[in-house]
Structure formats: structure tokens, C-alpha cells
Amino acid sequence: MNAQLFLKLAAVAILACVPLTGESFYTELLAKTLVLAIFAMSLDLLVGFTGLVSFGHAAYFGVAAYAVAQLSPKYEAASLWVVLPASVGLSALVALVVGLFVLRTKGIYFIMVTLAFAQLAFFVFHDTPLGGGSDGIYLNVKPSAEIAGWVPFDLDNQTHLYYFILAMLIAVYAFLGRILQSPFGRVLVGIKSNEHRMQSMGYPTFWYKLAAFGLAGGLAGVAGFLYAVVFGFVTPELLSWHQSGNVLLMVILGGMGNLVGAIAGAFVFTGMQEVFATWSKHWQLIMGGVIVAAVLFLPGGLAAIPGRIKRSLQGGGSNE
């Protein structure tokens, strides 16, 4: 247990050192990766813990990203303390409304209907003035963290922004970890394992799933918000099914139902993207192959690796 905590703290310490290198490119790349890690954790709440395979999670990511861009005045900074809760709240709200419909379906139908709603959202931003068309819109001035004249940190400063994102990642991780230990979280895991039995024990599972869907939407919104702030512009691509598929692959790659796995999945996925893209124009082909291999040979995802190593070590010991 303590070894786990130590490893987590070490990982945070290493991540915290990145901006100190002064490598702007890597800092931004890692900032993006941390944002995707938050996104992946939010989806893991649905896929890995509640058993709801959503193929439209990018919608909630994108809604929050657009919300920041739209809520910010053109040439002034909006207040972080207003736009962050507003965009996250909006994502959660959209997820709750969509959830009312999609949660009436199960299995493959659920996958398809979540995708359909995400496509709907995509075209709303793509084809109406709301989203500024396929070019997207710029977030000219990043939100300001000022509280009554005092500025605790500056999101325009890359290092500050990086630490803000790292802090959000830790907060979301701790928040989800805590929720999963709560009676509510235990019910979600029960629903994943055997929803029918949960109903016959008196749980109105629809409302629990809706709460999870809204929560996951809101947390995807946290990621979407941060993404918009990091890159300073938003495009409909943020809501595209590629984006929904990518985050699903991160969760699967990392090992469903494991928050550290979701983070690891985001890191490996972005890492592979970067590396393979330098090798070949057809990097997606290589990526696809790697993912198929991972699913075949590592069914529990990256999160299962420590257990495997431990078992093979113990197995080796007992053979003698």
C-alpha cells in the first residue's frame, strides 16, 4: 500500500519537474497529455466502473471547450472562477439531458445512441453560428484567476498553466477515488457487475446511472475547459467521433476500471501518437496494430502489468 503511495508521489514529483527543464514543447505536450488523462478518467467512471460504454464522450469535452470560448469577452479576460464552473456545469447539464434518453438503452444500442447524440452536438457546433463553423473560434484572452485584485497564478504563463492542470488532475483523481469508495460508488460498481440484481435489491439504477453520466460529463468538461485554455482555440473536431474513440482507446489501453490505468492509457496513447507520427505518415495504421495487440495480449490493460510481474516473480519462486 505504502509502496503504491510512494510511486504515485514519485510520479507527481517527476511531472512537477517538467516545466523546470524549460522545454516549452514538452511542457505543452505533457499539459495536453494531462488534460487527456483527466478526460480518460472521466470516461472510465462510466466504462470501467458503471459498465456504460459511451462512444460519445467527446461531446461533453467539446461543450465545455466551446463554453469557455463563447463565455469569454473578445478582448478581455473572463474570470476563471466564473467560466470554469459555468462550462463544467454546462457540460454536466448537457450530459444529464442526453443521459435521460440514452440510458433507456443498453449494450450495443447504448454505444450507438451515445455516438448519435455526440454527432448531433458536433453538427450543432459545425453548422451553426454558435460554433463558428469548421474553423472554430479563438479564445483570445485566457481566463484570469484574479480574486479581488489578488492574482494567485496566471494562466497565460505556461508554467503556471501546467501546474494548474497538474493540480486539477490530482483533484479529479482524488475526487473520483473518494466517490468510488462511497455508498454511491459501490452502487455503480454493483450496477456494472449485475444491474438486474441491483434493481431487485431495491436500487433505482436508472437514476444512479444518470448521476454517473452527469458527473462524467462534468469531469469531461473540466478536461475540455483546460484543453481550450491550453490551445487558445476550439474547433468542432473536439466533439468528433475520433475524439470519442481516442479516449475510449485510452481507457481500454490503460485497463478499464482503474484510474491510474486511465492516466497511463492517456500517456501511452499520446506518446505513441507522437512517436509513430515521426516514423510514418500512416502512423494510425501502426497505432491500430499496437492497440489490437494490447487488447489481445494484455486484456487487463496497462493497469494489469504490475500484477502480472508480481505473479510471475512469485510463480518463479514457488517453482524451485
Partner 1 sequence: MSEMNNEALLVADKITRRFGGLVANQDVCVNLYRGKVHVLLGPNGAGKSTCINMLSGDLPPSDGKILLLGKDITGLTAAQRSQVGIGRSYQRTNIFPKFSVLENVRLAAQSRRQQPWRIFSKAMEQQWALEKARACIEEAGLGKKVDWVSGVLSHGEQRQLEIAMVLATDAQVMLLDEPLAGMGSDESAKMVEVLKRLKPTRAILLVEHDMDAVFAVADTITVMVNGQVLESGPPAQIKASVAVQQAYLGSEDSFHV
Q: What are the residues binding partner 1 (CB under 8 A)?
A: 178-179, 181-187, 190, 193-194, 196-205, 207-208, 211
> Can you give the chain as a three-state secondary structure string?
CHHHHHHHHHHHHHHHHHHHHCCHHHHHHHHHHHHHHHHHHHHHHHHHHHCCCCCCCHHHHHHHHHHHHHHCCCCCCCEHHHHHHHHHHHHHHHHHHHHHHHCCCCHHHHHHHHHHHHHHHHHHHHHCHHHCHHHCEECCCCCECCECCECCCCCCCHHHHHHHHHHHHHHHHHHHHHHHHCHHHHHHHHHHHHHHHHHHCCCCHHHHHHHHHHHHHHHHHHHHHHHHHHHCEECHHHHCHHHHHHHHHHHHHHCCCCHHHHHHHHHHHHHHHHHHHHHCCCHHHHHHHHHHHHHHHCCCCHHHHHHHHHHHHHHHHHHC
- Which one, 189 or 272, has the nearer CB to partner 1? 189
Nearer to partner 1, 62 or 190 (CB): 190
Comparing CB distances to partner 1, the nearer of 121 and 187 is 187
Residue number, 18 or 216, with CB nearest to partner 1: 216
Q: Whole-number minimum distance, CB 175 to partner 1, in Å?
A: 9
Based on CB atoms, which residue is closest to partner 1, 186 or 310? 186
User: Least Å distance between CB 131 and partner 1?
Assistant: 33
Q: How far is the CB of 177 from partner 1 (least distance, A)?
A: 11
The smaller minimum CB distance to partner 1, of residues 197 and 282, is found at 197
In angstroms, what is the minimal distance from the CB of 256 to partner 1? 13
Q: How far is the CB of 257 from partner 1 (least distance, A)?
A: 10
Min. distance of Cβ 108 from partner 1 in angstroms? 23
